[in-house]
Amino acid sequence: MKKILNYIDGEFKEPLSNKWLDNYNPATGEVYSLIPDSDELDVELAVVAAQKAFPGWSTLSEEKRSDFMLKIAKAIDDRLDTLALAESMDNGKPVWLAKVMDIPRASQNFSFFGTAILHESALSHKTGVEAINYTYKSPIGLAGCISPWNLPLYLFTWKIAPALTAGNCVIAKPSEITPMTAYMLSEICAEVGLPAGVLNIVHGLGPKVGSAIVSHPKIPAISFTGGTKTGQEIARVAAPMFKKLSLELGGKNPNIIFADCDFDQMIKTTVSSSFTNQGEICLCGSRIFIERSLYKKFKEAFIEKVQSLKVGDPLDNSNRIGALVSKPHMDKVLSYIKLAQEEGGTILTGGNIVKPEGRCANGYFLEPTVIEGLSQSCRTNQEEIFGPVVTIMPFDTEDEVLEMANSTPYGLSATIWTQNLSRAHKVAHQLQSGIIWINCWLLRDLRTPFGGMKQSGVGREGGFEALDFFTDKKNVCIKL
């Protein structure tokens, strides 16, 4: 059976404990590789390697660091098919989706930050005729990057690329549930000659490897994407150590549909914003609010479209929805479908496990599910489900929908559908969400600030903000 290995100090290493974890293919339910069950001793090796590499890497010119990033981006592009297949096998997502979304974006993360560093500048402030100040930027040192399973390589590289580009050495942990493409990235880094110790990837469980990274005194910056509860635990450990923290956490995003919207465009996009990647994207709109006069028409058209989504083998390009990432996650989603019914909801379509014939008979497939008749305050509408489940609710006024949209502890993203431009701006400004799309969804410009309000996170990724996070600034004042 294939063994995934840690990548530490430029070498591929087994975990010191020689303990291994099973890696499942969620589309078949079979174990197909083994993952290091690493612990704090492996993290310590990575820290030592990163400390050794830091003086050389941080003083390399921006052009040379950029060169490495662009080489990695090209190597990812060259392996598009292989990486997309690996991502699909590890996560359960359709291979066509990994090919158009996950892998191209992983490459763009390296090319985006690799070129951004060439355009970076620093401020200077003149204090009358007395003095001049300039801002001196330097890398922080060692950065810990921890990422989730839903967009494995996409989110892993979204952290690593700016951290490395800014001149830091990295100790990274992908989700133990989806480690394969991170392992393949380490092979790419070795192949392009990234200096040893600059990037170290330690595989294993969150409470062991993740917490060893977060609590390590020699790692002053932590960039984390994952659930809000894990984020709270990380903040609890890191805050007293005064670490720099970037937290991208969960969401329960509203999708607000006014009656004057472009109906066809809205319906098409709402199907995507509800169910792309099996609904396992932190930006999916899981609470859909529809102006009452449009509710009946929306409901009929939406259900028809949702029922036409084919669920099954991720390797079959005609399937729109693949497998959920794991059996425990499928059980969690199913428990919310049951809860929704207990809370008085009606399942309009979906709600059941799908058992495809053939090789995927034991995979973790679920029908896309639409629920109505729930109150805004019930648990189904307040807690993150992170699966192919949405609720639909009518509204009458702007004030009412804003109150409902803002009623959860989360504030990651929101979508608004209307042709009324001034209403679109007004509602956008009042929504408590860090990312707002008007008449579109998931249209991303990597220069824009990315992150959530309230319990959806702390800080922003993207553009120069990400490079800033991985940089220390000092002011140098010169008396004239």
Can you give the binding site for ligand NDP, defined by CB under 6 A?
146-150, 155, 173, 175-177, 205-207, 210-211, 214, 225-227, 230, 233-234, 248-251, 282, 384, 386, 412, 452, 456-457
Our CB check for ligand NDP shows the closer of 211 and 255 to be: 211
Of the listed 87, 176, 248, 291, which one is catalytic?
248
The CB-of-43 to ligand NDP minimum distance in angstroms stands at: 11
Q: Which residues contact 316 (CB under 8 A, 6 or more apart)?
A: none
- Considering the complex, what minimum distance in angstroms separates the CB of residue 303 from ligand NDP? 26
Pairing of strands 253-257, 30-36: unpaired
* SS3 at position 455: coil
From the CB of 251, what's the least distance to ligand NDP, in Å? Answer: 5
Nearer to ligand NDP, 88 or 225 (CB): 225
Nearer to ligand NDP, 62 or 233 (CB): 233
And the tokens for 253? 């995003």
The minimum distance between CB 79 and ligand NDP, in angstroms, equals 23
Q: Whose Cβ is closer to ligand NDP: residue 154's or residue 298's?
A: 154
Are the C-beta atoms of residues 281 and 91 closer than 8 Å to each other? no
Please tell me what DSSP assigns to residue 202: -
Report how far apart the first and last C-alpha atoms of the chain are (Å, whole number).
Answer: 68
The smaller minimum CB distance to ligand NDP, of residues 28 and 38, is found at 38
Place of tokens 């999708």: 255
Q: For residues 285 and 275, what is the distance between their CA atoms, to the nearest angstrom?
A: 9
Q: How far is the CB of 283 from ligand NDP (least distance, A)?
A: 7
Round to whole Å and give the CA distance between 471 and 138: 6
CA 480 from centroid of its chain's CA atoms: 48
In Å, what is the CA distance from 480 to each residue of 95, 136, 188, 230, 469?
A: 62, 18, 50, 50, 31
Q: Are 456 and 228 in contact (CB under 8 A)?
A: yes
Nearer to ligand NDP (CB atom), residue 168 or residue 246:
246
Catalytic residue among 145, 169, 261, 282: 282
248 annotated active-site: yes
Eight-class DSSP state of 277:
G
What is the spatial distance between Cα 74 and Cα 234, in angstroms, rounded to a whole number?
34
Task: Give dist(CA 4, CA 1) in Å, integer.
Answer: 10
Name the residue nearer to ligand NDP (CB basis): 367 or 461.
Answer: 461
Could you tell me the smallest distance in angstroms from the CB atom of residue 184 to ligand NDP?
Answer: 17
The smaller minimum CB distance to ligand NDP, of residues 57 and 450, is found at 450
Cα–Cα dist 363/82, whole Å: 22
Q: Closest separation between CB of residue 147 and ligand NDP, Å?
A: 6
Question: Tokens at residue 235, please?
Answer: 């903040």
Shortest distance, position 153 Cβ to ligand NDP, whole Å: 13
CA distance 471 to 345: 49
Helix (H) or strand (E) holding 393: strand 389-395
Active site residue 282: yes
Asked if residues 205 and 232 have their Cβ atoms less than 8 Å apart, the reply is: no
Closest by CA to 407, choosing from 441, 443, 382, is 382
- Asked if 72 contacts 194 with a C-beta cutoff of 8 angstroms, the reply is yes
Helices (H), 193-248: 211-215, 228-238
Catalytic residue positions, numbered = 248, 282
